[in-house]
Amino acid sequence: MEHFPLLSQISYSYFVDFMDTPVQLLLSTKTPGPAVVERFGASVCPRAPFSRHSSLTRPTAPHLVPPPPTAENLDYAELPIIDISQLKTATDEERLKLAVEVRDAMHVHGFFYVVNHGWSPEQTARIFDIADIPFSAVSAEEKQVYAGRMKEVGSYQGYKLRQYWHIDNGVHDQLEHYNINRDITKRGHPEAVRPFLPEIEAFARHSHFDVLHPVLRLLALGLELAEEELVDMHGFDAVGETYVRFMKYYPRSQEEEMKTNNVWLKGHSDFGTITVLYSQPVAALQVLGPDNKWRWVRHIDNAIVINAGDALEFLSGGFYKATIHRVVQPPKDQQALTRIGAFYFGMTDDAVKLAPLSHSPVLQRVGFVRKVADKLAPTMEEWRKGRTSAYGQSELKASALGKTVEEEVINGVVVKHYS
């Protein structure tokens, strides 16, 4: 696959203002070649440098006015809220105390909120405006050109088009997403998306360095490991698949709702280490609690929802939980709305073997579970490709746990899906 020297192989770097925050953009002053212009557009490769104090002339994106939160009295999950800004000024004692909070949140719930992550509400709103561009500003024909080849190559890069996944009783999904590797030059992008690539890269870098890495440091401390041990497995420039996802759910017909019992996306775990989900007001996400009950995830303005995936559960020997979650039809006062999502899916570098970190003093004290023998443990690359290729395409078998649970086996590990 072609890899263009747009942002990854640069001559100079400059600072520009992104929503009034200085962001380092890696931009070449050289004239872009015709292949780069054709794929990405000349606007993302300017010939003249920006000064540190200049403002980036942002491309126009229609502003999405967020709807009010639902007025319905829903059964919400009580998830911990972590103020990550405390890390900047924390003493060693305060740092360890925060690590215990994060450790317990991930051990018990597998989900928690992060607040005060360094982005203003205006910056977050801008990303949601950009998140809709791949869907509202790109034709169906052009989406096909940039469609991902999930089943063939085990990667979500590009579009996951509507009705690709089978949900239940012959009903297929009504959601689409556009996935962009943190290295935004790995593949081409639709014409309407190209002007926004610098801002998308800034979003990836913020999510990676200001959210993912701090959370990983606290999780490592929670296992009494070296603070950088998990961070060192998640290099921004390493070979791997950590990526941005923009997603859009569309309302379904009443017939489809009846056939699927209002489930839009079956209960599942994510396959990476950490999922970074920017909170939005249309209620639909539910988590499966320890008591086997589904509860809604409450929207908090400018908060981030963090959850663990399979890879973190494997590395922690089951200490950190890859909590099952699903998406269902929104409550009545939001059922006519589309639902826009902005995500950052964190994964280890591809070569990391997903075996328990058995040298952790915490795991040595409390014990841990191996999904498979260490020598058979999949690498991150093997696991993500297996999960991606199979999801929504495999014939699932009923589980002994009951009719609402189905199973498949990937890389020797049983993967469960919940209705």
Among 188, 187, 202, which residue's Cα sits nearest to residue 236? Answer: 202
Q: Hey, what amino acid is at 6?
A: L
Q: Are residues 307 and 329 in the same domain?
A: yes
Report the C-alpha gap between 297 and 125 in whole angstroms: 20
Distance of alpha carbon 20 from alpha carbon 246, whole angstroms: 23
Same-domain pairing of 309 and 404: yes
Instruction: Say whether both 22 and 136 belong to one domain.
Output: no
Say which residues have a Cβ less than 8 Å from residue 316's Cβ, sequence separation at least 6: 219, 223, 356, 357, 360, 363, 368
What is the number of structural domains in the chain? 2
Beta bridge partners of 197: none
Cβ proximity of 189 and 147 under 8 Å: no
pLDDT of 392 > 60? The answer is no
Same domain, 35 and 145: no
What's the CATH number where 120 sits?
2.60.120.330
Q: Which of 57, 78, 100 is the last residue of a domain?
A: 57
Question: Quick one: 200 and 235 in the same domain?
Answer: yes
Residues 53 and 92 in one domain: no
Confidence of residue 393 (pLDDT cuts 50, 70, 90): low
Q: Same structural domain for residues 103 and 15?
A: no
Mutual angle of helices 213-222 and 92-108, in 10-degree steps: 90
232 and 91 fall within a common domain: yes
102 and 207 co-located in one domain: yes
Does one domain contain both 338 and 414?
Answer: yes
Question: What's the number of CA atoms in the CB half-sphere (13 Å) around residue 24?
Answer: 6
CA atoms within 13 A on the CB side of 208: 22
H/E segment holding residue 373: none
Q: Are residues 18 and 106 in the same domain?
A: no
User: Looking at 12, 28, 57, which one is the last position of a domain?
Assistant: 57
pLDDT tens digit sequence for 121-148: 999 999 999 999 999 999 999 999 999 9
Mean pLDDT, all residues of the chain: 86
Same domain, 32 and 115: no
pLDDT above 60: residue 50: no
Q: What is the pTM of this model?
A: 0.83
Exposed e or buried b per residue across 103-141, where buried means at least 16 C-beta atoms within 10 angstroms of its C-beta: bebbbebbbbbbeebebeeebbbbbbbbbbbbbeebeee
CA distances from residue 258 to 168, 404, 411 in whole angstroms, order as listed: 10, 16, 34
Range of the domain at 18: 1-57
Last residue in a domain, options 19, 41, 57: 57
Q: What is the pLDDT of residues 214-259, one digit of tens each?
A: 999 999 999 999 999 999 999 999 999 999 999 999 999 999 999 9
3-state secondary structure of 104: helix
DSSP 242-261: -EEEEEEE----HHHHHHHT
